[in-house]
Amino acid sequence: MPLDESHVQAAVVCAKKLGIQLRVRSGGHDYEGVSYASEMGDPFVVIDMSKLRSVIVDIDDNSAWAEAGATTGELYYRISEQSKVHGFPAGLCTSLGIGGHITGGAYGSMMRKYGLGVDNVIDVRLVDPNGKILDRASMGEDLFWAVRGAGGGSFGVILAWKVKLVPVPETVTTFTVVKTLNQGLTKLLTKWQQVAADKLDENLFIRVEIMPGTVPNTTQKTVQALFNALYLGSANQLLRSMAQTFPELGLTKKDCNEMSWIESVVYIGGYPTGTSIDVLLQAKPLFRNYFKAKSDFVREPIPEAGLEGLWKKLMEAESYIMIWNPYGGMMSRVPESDTPFPHRKGTIYKIQYVATWMDGEVSAKSSMAWIRDLYQFMEPYVSKNPREAYVNYRDLDLGMNKDGNTNVNEARAWGLKYYKNNFDRLVKIKTKFDPENFFRHEQSIPPLSSPNRKTKKGKKFHYHKLGKHHKGKGC
């Protein structure tokens, strides 16, 4: 656990000399645990960045330096301590480590207005494979491009990010409207896909969380959806906008909560009403359960027949959550090659599928089989050639580097899904900056040719235990 930057440098130099692999952990939220577990068979040590967590906000410069071990919640809190009209557009979940989160893109409820976390990074400090500390000027624009979206653990250890702050109004509005299948959910989601996901006023972000529910006033099982939103403006402005564009949701003044931006972070993060913003300094995840997740990007609305089939699949499962995350706005104006994160113009929304369970090995097999079957069912309705996926929702089902060695052609299987045409540029940059493939894990970017390493078989980790599961408004 490094206490200052020189400890990270020493860890890199020693590990390289001793031939030991490094895993880097900031917030520990990696979906496949590659920050603290290995299937590759090499002996490894973990650099735990959690003691390097200072956040320095410079309102006059409109920027902040956040060390890798700080959480998203801490960054937001420190910004709000200094200004009510500044914010930062990254994850909705407030316990994510800035170190790992920003490396993969970092989306949140202001992405339609300001893009991703990576679109708002202005500098970085990183320890390279030789133990040298580089910043944007000394690493050059190629490496600076690569670390903003390639996912963590491929190019070096991020010490800190310098981010650009964005303006937020003093008053924002949030709401959560719940609808079940028998309340017309299928038609509503058809409309949401057509007019409300990527086409709304970009001050408005309405995501949909789909989960098991009961028919109102009965115990009959059904599917329910939470329309969970942030509007960068007042309730009256929001109501006017919704009346023109998405009246079918039936939003009323009673559904709207006006608050400061930092209070909206707590609300959207899923904390119970009335929770103090100080919770953001606790750096604790909100839920604790086992899960397996997958992702997709949707470019054509799913027709009603497809939705009906989807409900049947969902009704087979005990415990799941599916999150539809709207795109458009700034997300469609940033060119695909600006950062390694390529899922931009033409994306209507992103789907995250999550199978959850509480009893470890007991339900692991059936839950994994269910989510893999659901993923197969969805194939006709989502992006193709490649079927895109979000690297921050790491999914080892898409393929992985094996036994300490990497192969560019094998890595293309998941590389094209995560990065599309940016994959080849990432491989070139990796080959230049880390030709020995010192920084590697199951889905790291491979160099063009990789040293042939002999390894022992490691143990398998496919699902994780995090904090207490919070139904309804998880991240």
Ligand X SMILES: Cc1cc2nc3c(=O)[nH]c(=O)nc-3n(C[C@H](O)[C@H](O)[C@H](O)COP(=O)(O)OP(=O)(O)OC[C@H]3O[C@@H](n4cnc5c(N)ncnc54)[C@H](O)[C@@H]3O)c2cc1C
Judged by the rule CB under 6 A, the positions of this chain that interact with ligand X are 23-31, 34-35, 49, 68, 91-93, 96-97, 99-101, 103-108, 152-153, 157-158, 285, 392, 441, 466, 475
CB of residue 228 vs ligand X: minimum separation in angstroms? Answer: 12
Question: Quick check: 315 and 221 in contact, CB under 8 A?
Answer: yes
Residues 46-71 as b/e (b if ≥16 CB within 10 A, e otherwise) read: bbbbbebbebebeeeeebbbbbbbbb
CA distance 65 to 197: 32
C-beta closer to ligand X: residue 73 or 91: 91
Beta-carbon contacts of residue 274 (< 8 Å; ≥ 6 apart): none
C-beta closer to ligand X: residue 68 or 249: 68
C-beta closer to ligand X: residue 146 or 188: 146
CB of residue 256 vs ligand X: minimum separation in angstroms? Answer: 22
Beta-carbon contacts of residue 91 (< 8 Å; ≥ 6 apart): 72, 101, 106, 107, 108, 117, 475
CB of residue 458 vs ligand X: minimum separation in angstroms? Answer: 15
C-beta closer to ligand X: residue 56 or 243: 56
CB of residue 106 vs ligand X: minimum separation in angstroms? Answer: 5
428: region left, alpha or beta (phi > 0 left; psi from -120 to 50 alpha): alpha
In 183-267 the beta strands, taken as DSSP E runs, fall at: 204-214, 221-231, 257-259
| Cα-based angle 384, 389, 391 (whole degrees, multiple of 5) | 155
C-beta closer to ligand X: residue 239 or 334: 334
CB of residue 140 vs ligand X: minimum separation in angstroms? Answer: 18
CB of residue 149 vs ligand X: minimum separation in angstroms? Answer: 11
C-beta closer to ligand X: residue 163 or 181: 163
C-beta closer to ligand X: residue 321 or 378: 321
Question: Quick check: 350 and 371 in contact, CB under 8 A?
Answer: no
Question: Quick check: 392 and 105 in contact, CB under 8 A?
Answer: yes
Complete DSSP assignment for 148-174: TTS-SSSS-EEEEEEEE-EE--S-EEE
Beta-carbon contacts of residue 262 (< 8 Å; ≥ 6 apart): 76, 77, 79, 80, 84, 87, 277, 280
What amino acid occupies position 457?
K
In 3D, which of 282, 246, 306, 56 has the Cα closest to residue 163?
56
C-beta closer to ligand X: residue 28 or 329: 28
CB of residue 182 vs ligand X: minimum separation in angstroms? Answer: 30
Residue position matching structure tokens 């600076």: 144
CB of residue 200 vs ligand X: minimum separation in angstroms? Answer: 19
C-beta closer to ligand X: residue 79 or 96: 96
CB of residue 303 vs ligand X: minimum separation in angstroms? Answer: 28
C-beta closer to ligand X: residue 89 or 213: 89
In 3D, which of 306, 330, 439 has the Cα closest to residue 380?
306
Helices (DSSP H) in 104-219: which residue ranges? Answer: 111-114, 136-147, 185-191
In angstroms, the Cα distances linking 435 to 35, 79, 154, 248 are: 21, 39, 11, 55
CB of residue 384 vs ligand X: minimum separation in angstroms? Answer: 23
